[in-house]
Amino acid sequence: MALTDKQLERYSRHITLKEIGVRGQKKLLAAKVLIIGAGGLGAPAAMYLAAAGVGTIGIADCDSVELSNLQRQIIHTTDDIDKPKVQSAAETIKSLNPDVEVITYHEYVNSKNIASMIADYDFIIDGADNFPTKFLINDACVLGHKSFCHAGILRFEGQLMTYVPDVSPCYRCVFEAPPPKDAVPSCREAGVIGAMAGIIGAMQALEAVKYITGQGELLTGSMLVFDGLKMDWRKVKLPKRNHHCPVCGDTPTITELADEEQVSCSLRPQ
């Protein structure tokens, strides 16, 4: 596949990079990335992946755009209020880069549909806003042998880590199960600074680009934690493997996908 003159111009800043070049750009154009959640994290991740020329982007979200979303969910505009988020996101992506094919899933992600949803994608981005869905994404990716990037934000803080099968610990290796309902404040209660979504969501896109092109070091075996008030980055080393992990340990107890009780928002929501 030869790049067209317009593609050579559009992706010229990528092609100039020795780590990407024409070969890397072709990998991006052939790649498929699924973003679960078109909110605070998924919005910037989707826009940067579209701008990068990722050939197929899937967007899964069951919600519609609300006015309160616009403080951080930059893929949507005021004119998109009451529109399904997947539709709004797809329209923005197509206007940004017509090279990209967008596949939308206007449905609630659950144990019945997630396995088939992730099956055809090379990389998954966790932009979910609640703990049960985050754990479900982890379990589906572990059982389905898929790589994904987890992230979460709350107030002025953010975190992210990347899972690659047979290489790194999974989300359950670090956090075995969701916390009890109402044990942590929701995004509505605690708030979140809009720019934090942009910072962490863009870093999820960067992890996807590095994975697709095979360049750099992924956040496998580490969790990156950012305090926006102090402008402090910490890279927390994770155990190589949790032998007692219920999904990827020596004797896993989770061998089939199941839905856990839904809560309103995650510890570090979108």
Domains of the chain: 22-237 (3.40.50.720)
The pLDDT value given to residue 183: 66
Residue carrying the six token digits 């979910």: 128
CA distance 132 to 229: 28
Residue 266 has pLDDT above 80, yes or no: no
- Average pLDDT, integer, range 122-126: 98
Total Cβ atoms within 10 A of residue 189: 10
pTM for this entry = 0.94
Q: Which stretch of DSSP H or E encloses residue 236?
A: strand 232-237
pLDDT > 70: percent of the chain: 94
Beta-carbon contacts of 138 under 8 Å, excluding residues fewer than 6 positions away, are: 126, 148, 150, 163, 170, 171, 172, 247
Contact 153, 200 (CB under 8 A): yes
Dihedral over Cα of 268, 161, 48, 130: its sign: negative
Of the two residues 183 and 246, the one the predictor is more confident about is 246
pLDDT > 90: percent of the chain: 87
The pLDDT value given to residue 268: 37
Q: Which of 142-151, 176-185, 192-201 has the lowest mean pLDDT?
A: 176-185
- Average pLDDT, integer, range 104-116: 97
Contact 248, 173 (CB under 8 A): yes
CA distance 93 to 248: 35
CA distance 165 to 163: 7
Strands 222-227 vs 157-163: parallel, antiparallel or unpaired = antiparallel
Q: Confidence class of residue 189 from pLDDT cuts 50, 70 and 90?
A: confident
| E strand residue ranges, 99-180 | 101-105, 123-126, 147-154, 157-163
Averaged pLDDT of the chain: 93
- Average pLDDT, integer, range 30-37: 98
Structure tokens at 125: 């981005």
Residue 269 has pLDDT above 50, yes or no: no
For residue range 54-96, list pLDDT tens digits in order.
Answer: 999 999 999 999 999 999 999 999 999 999 999 999 999 999 9
- Average pLDDT, integer, range 17-40: 98
Of the two residues 260 and 110, the one the predictor is more confident about is 110
Q: Confidence class of residue 11 from pLDDT cuts 50, 70 and 90?
A: very high
Total Cβ atoms within 10 A of residue 221: 18
The pLDDT value given to residue 186: 62
**CA 136 vs CA 158, 254, 257, 259: distances in Å:** 20, 11, 7, 7
Determine what percent of the chain falls in helix, strand and coil, rounding each to the nearest 5. Answer: 35, 20, 45
